[in-house]
Each structure stands twice: as C-alpha cells, then as structure tokens.
Structure 1
Amino acid sequence: MSAGYASSWVIGAVSGIDNWRHQTRFRRTFGEGGIDRRGENIYRLRYRVGGKRFTKTFHGTLTQARVELRALIRASDIGEHVEPKRLTVAQWIDQWLVAGAPGRRKKKVGQRTLERYEQLLNTHVKPAIGEQILQQLRAAAIDNLYALLEDKIAPRTAHHVHIVLGAALATAHRTRLIAINPMAHVQQVPNPEAMIQEDDDRGDIADGLEEHELSALVAGFKHLDLFPIVALAAACGARRNELLALRWTDLDLEKKKLRIERALEQTKKFGIRVKAPKTKRGCRTIDLDDATIGMLVAKRAEYQRLISGIPDGADVDLTLVRLPAKALIFPAVPGRGESFDLTRPRNPRNFSKEFARRADVVGFGATRFHDLRGVHATALLDAGIPVHRVAERIGDDPAVLLRNYAKRKRSKGADESLAQTLAAIAGGFLNF
C-alpha cells in the first residue's frame, strides 16, 4: 500500500467515525444537557441539577427525547426536579407501609388500618403492577388493574384498593419520587355501590328498623350475656370497640353520663390492646336515659356480688364493695378453668360473630352489630334532633353522618312526621 493511499484511507476512516459520532450524539450548550442514541428509538438524556450529573433512559423519537430533556431541565430550574430511580411499585409500597402509610396530613395510621392496607396492596396491587418501575407507572396500567379486579372482588373492596393505592402514590408524588401522579389520569374509579341491588339477600333491614323492630331485636338477646352491650349500643350509638373498652369509672351515675375515652384495637401484631378513640370526635360524653342507667347499675351489682362472694338476694350495702380501678363494664367471659378477671377485655371479632349468630336466630340475620349505630343516629335525625348534636353524640363528622343518612331507608314515622310538618306549614298560608 502506497503512503498516499494509506493516508487517504486513514483520513476517510476518521471522517467516518466523526460522522457516526455526529449522528449518535446531539450536543447542546453547556448546562442544557445532551442526548445520546442508545438504539432504535432509545436515547440517554444527560443533564445537571445543582452541579450533580443525572442520566435518564428515554424510549421514543428524537423529537420526543428533546421535549423530555427540556422538561427535565425546566423542572430543575423551578425546583421540581425528580431524581430518576429504579424503585419498583412493590418496593415503594413496602417503604410506605413501613413508614406507617402516612397520608396528606403526614400522620401514621393505626395498626389495624395499616394491616388492612397491607392486605389490600399485597393481595390485589403487587401481583398486577408491583414489578413496574414506579416512575414509569402510567394511568393505563392502573385502569387495567381495576378492570381485572372488577370480576374478582366486590365493588366496595375495589374502591378501597383505589383509595389505598391513591394514598401511596400521592405520598410518592408529595415526596418527589414521581413527577406526576398517574392517579390524576385514571379513566374510571371503582364504584363502591355498583352492585348494590334492592333485592339483595342482605338487604337494608337494619337501615330502616322501626321502633318495634329495634325493640324485638334487642329483646332477642334477653337473658344472654350480650344483652347489656346490645342494649347500650342501641341506646347511645357508640362503636363496638368503644363499648368493649368502657370502664366503670367512665360512668357518672349522678349526672347520668357516660364518657368515651378509649377503644379496643385488635391486630395481628399486638393482639387486643387499648388505644385512643378512632378520631378526636371520638372522645365525648353521652347522656343516658333512666332505663339504661338502671340496667348498668344492675350489671355492676352482679360484679360486686361476684367478687365479694355475696349471694344473690342477700340484702347488703353493695356500695361498700369496690371494683378494681380498671374494671371493664363488659369484661371477657371466663372460659373453662379460667378465673374471672374484670380487667380482661373481650375479643371484638368473636363478639361480632356471636352477635350475628343470635341476630340470625331471632330473625334479623342481615343485621350487623355496627348497624345499631346507624339505627340510633337515624332515629335521632328522624326525631328532628339537629345534625351537629347527633354527630357529637356518636362521635362522627356531621358531613359523614349526613352522607350515610342519605343512603339509609327512612322509617315510616319519619315520612309521616315530614308530611305532618309540611301540612302545618302549608296550612299557615293556604287556609285563608
């Protein structure tokens, strides 16, 4: 090979290399980053934020890659840059749960709620989208998830999945793990009432109980250990776990008032333990009627006789018998071979199952113990008690109370009362 020919070959080769570099690297001015071609419609975006180098792999056309690079640089200029990460959806869910599943108020949820969140996410979300990169998760994937759940689980459960997944992604967006929350672009949110039918076997029996029906339900527990709890629930509208955590020191016989200051919580991690009420509104004082007070006094007398060994019927002054300071109004019933302990709480889940079995026997099989709370609130609202007063009594948000009340069947008495009131109003200006 002659020297001239070799020189020409080298120059041509160098020129070809420079041409390849020009085609695969798109240089920009300093500070604006750069774009490298990595394959067919695959580009590596390079840019700096605060002197720190970042790279991001982008799939799309060159024009789209340039738009994405400008967006990244613009985000860094206004302080909204999100550092690229390979964190998967499943990994983020685990981190969020370990942190206590904080919501928009940046507070941890209770242990029982946390375990429910974990169950929903591990069962329904992780298998479908858990392996996806969090920053690459799009609304279409979530829509596909909801479509899969539609035929597998109840609409209300699907809605709960949506709420919990939304909370997890909102936290990721708030902490700048993702630039855009894909939940904002979901096409259709699961409807919790999509499959509610008027002829459902469970029906809405408890929602529209008349006074005589409620009396029949409570009377069905007469002579059973559950009776005082059921009767008190119907009389005051307290939650199950609030009732089971009540102590005798919470009862003021002279003023006929009952203080709600704590509740039971049953979780896999801690078992049964005492905690504060569900919300701040949960701490409240409830007025009781004479009949309910009399029932509770009789129940306390049973315990006083039991721990002091005084036989039934013996005429003694029971006020001299002191109950333990933390004695519960409704303690656990001792099993075979167990000693009676006034401070040992009942198992909430077992109690609900026992209630359901008995309610079914007396003809109210569709009624849950929690329904008594709704029946109590409905009765007060039907009677014309102001919403805020009813909400204070049951420890609920007035807006939530109204929303739930609007879904319930009104009693016949409420409709008759409304008709009478309307007639009285119209009569005032039509009878002339």
Structure 2
Amino acid sequence: MTTRIIPAVGDAEAARSITTLLSQLPDAEPASPVGDSTTLIDTLARLAGESIDELPEVVLVHERIGPVPALEVIREVALRFPAVGVVLVTSDASPGLFSAAMDSGARGLIGLPLSYEELVTRVQAAAGWSVGVRRHLGQGSEVFSGPGGTVVAIAGGKGGVGTTLIAVQLALAAQASGHHTALVDMDLQSGDIASYLDVQFRRSIVDLAGIQDISPRVLQDAVFRHETGLGLLLAPAEGERGEEVTDRAARQVVSALRQRYQVVVIDCGSQMSSANATAIEMAETAVLVTTPDVVAVRGAKRMVRLWDRLQIRKAEETVTLVNRHTRNTEIQPPLIERITGTRVARIAVPSNFKELQGAVDAGRMQDLEAKSTVKQALWGLAGELGLVKTAENEGKGRARGGRAANDRGSLTFGRRSREDASKDGKRGAGG
C-alpha cells in the first residue's frame, strides 16, 4: 500500500531534511512541503472537496509551523479531517508535550534530530490507523464529511444596518430547505438573536471558551434547540463576558460546529473583535451588510480595508448585501460595488420595515409572513449563496460566492496583534 504524506514545515532547513528522509521510506509518496498552516488546511480542504480518497494518510506537522501554533494546527486537522493521521515533529519529546499532542489529536510524535527508524515507525503507525478508520467508516461517504459544513459570516460596516435580522432569515431559510443549520451570535457584547427568536437561555458561547476539546456532547449542551429546528449558540447575557471568547476559542467553536451542522450562519455584528474576526477568516462566505446611504457605504469601505490590512479577507472575497434598498436613492448597488471593491449580491433587500415591525416587536422573526417582500428577498439571497437545497445546488458542498478553499487568507492577523485589531475595528466600524 502506498502511503501519501504531506509535510507541513515552516523551516527551510528542516523541510529539506524531512523531505530527504521521506523519499527513502518504503512505499511512500511524499508531497512537496507546505510552508504554513493556512496552506496546509486549504490543501486538505481542496483534496477533500475533490474526493475523500484524495486525502493523504499522514500529515507531518513541524513544531515551527506558523502562523497558527503546531498543536492548534493538529487540533484543526483532527477535527476537520478525522481520517488523516497527524504526527508532530519536535525537538521537545517530553512526556508533557507528548500528552498535549495526543490530546490535540496527534497519532504520534517524532523527536529531532530526525531518525530514519523512528520516522518509519511513526509514519507507518499513523498510516495504518488512517486506513483502519477509513475502512471502518465504509469509505467515509456518509459519515466522514471532510471539510465539513458551510460557514457564512454576516457583518455590518456600521451599527444598525440589519445584520442580525439578515443572519436569522438566512439560517431559517437553510433550515426550512432541509439543511441541519446552526445560528451563532458572535456579536458578543450586544447580541440580539435571542430577542429576535423569543428565546430564554442559560448557556452561551462563553461556556465553550475555556474548554480545551469541544466534544459533540459538550457542544450539544451549549447549543439551544429552537422550535424551528435551528441550533442556537447565543451571545452572553452579560456583554462584558464576551471578552472571554478569544480567537483560539472562536476557532475551536467554529470548527466543532462545522463538523456537526451542514450550514453555520454567524452574526458578527459591526464591532471587530478577535473572535468574530476569526469567524470571518474561517467562513466560506463573508457577507458585508450596508444600507444605500453615504455614512453606511463609507463604513463598509472602512471595514473592507480593515479586513485587508489585518489579513482577514480580501475585498474580492467578500459579498456586499444592500439592505433597505429603494429605486429612487442616488446610491445604487453598482456604485457600492465600485466604492468597496467587493462583489455586490444580485439580490437587494427592499426597504419595508412595516412588514417586519409586528414580528420584530413580538420577538418572533420565525413568524414573518411568507408574502413579505423582505423575507422573499432574504430567502432568495440564501439561494444565491447556496444555503438552500435546490435542483441547481443540490449536492454542492460549498456555498457559491465564497472564496476558493486554496485562496484563503492567513489564520491570524499577520503582524498585527488581536488587541490592536479589536481597537481598529471599534474605530473603523462604529458610527
């Protein structure tokens, strides 16, 4: 049996050493080394999108991989591609690190300097485990879903443009079409999803923030099962507790939800934090909401530039949605597209608050009438984004309009700290 191996090594000298030894392994088919965690995850996602059988049996993760730390890379690979055997390559072979690597999902640890015999042993063990898992899953077509469900992040260029209502209706549309759907409130200080859906809750996303390994049971305990069938992961009732949700916690939460749900819709609000920035990074599709007025469009442009500076998402990878659109306004979607440099959604949401007022005041957005032009537009948008089951998009694993899996930005803010990002976001997205 041929063992396919992807080495993920951030150090050039270590990459040469590992590649030389891998080329000597019996029945091994090593790929070219990938130099960072983002490229590794995107490569695996692309291969899984083609066919589960295209995934390598073994991934070697070097201790100096970046920008995401090695143990977090191992955890994400194990969550998203559970039939891939991951092995950590490190100069620290202490029992403490070995235990931490196993807890993260690694199948073994190889010490530095490299030993041919140890490399053979660990690679063969991880490959044998991988083959056994795939056989147990019956080729994985029904149980193992590779990159998992589709994640859509909704954000506003400024406050009051309607991100929460839009996120709620997109999630309702996906659920009504037959997709197992989660709706996440990551507007951590002022989230209102619970108010829009008439929910009284005790648990929130904060309850997952301090957990090292989010198991399906732990996730189930934190998610509120709504009468519509939606799984709701809500913002904390005490806004100050939102600071407990770090970028690392957000990454774990989004990865865990992606494995459990076919569609995950995240309301990121209009204030940038390290947590919702991570959600925007990880999403297949990011929808930036604006209204057709000068202040809101300027806010959208600021947000697009902020995302680009912080290496969260490029303008061309963003879909802008025009909310409260009227035909007689001077600012029309083509102008917004030119100003922001994004792709504007084909569907614009009409301005008709009178249709919404009863459902909003009652906190029963799920009861919005089907004849509502606002609801029709938003459910049409769900179809445009590939979130509903239709004859056209049935069987597609990714939402249309999202960025390609092999063209994502980095999984960090690059050279900028999360704290600086949060401050910039508050300055750039407010108003």
What is the TM-score with the length of structure 1 in the denominator? 0.21
Specify which structure has the bigger relative contact order, considering alpha-carbon pairs within 8 angstroms and separated by 6 or more residues.
2
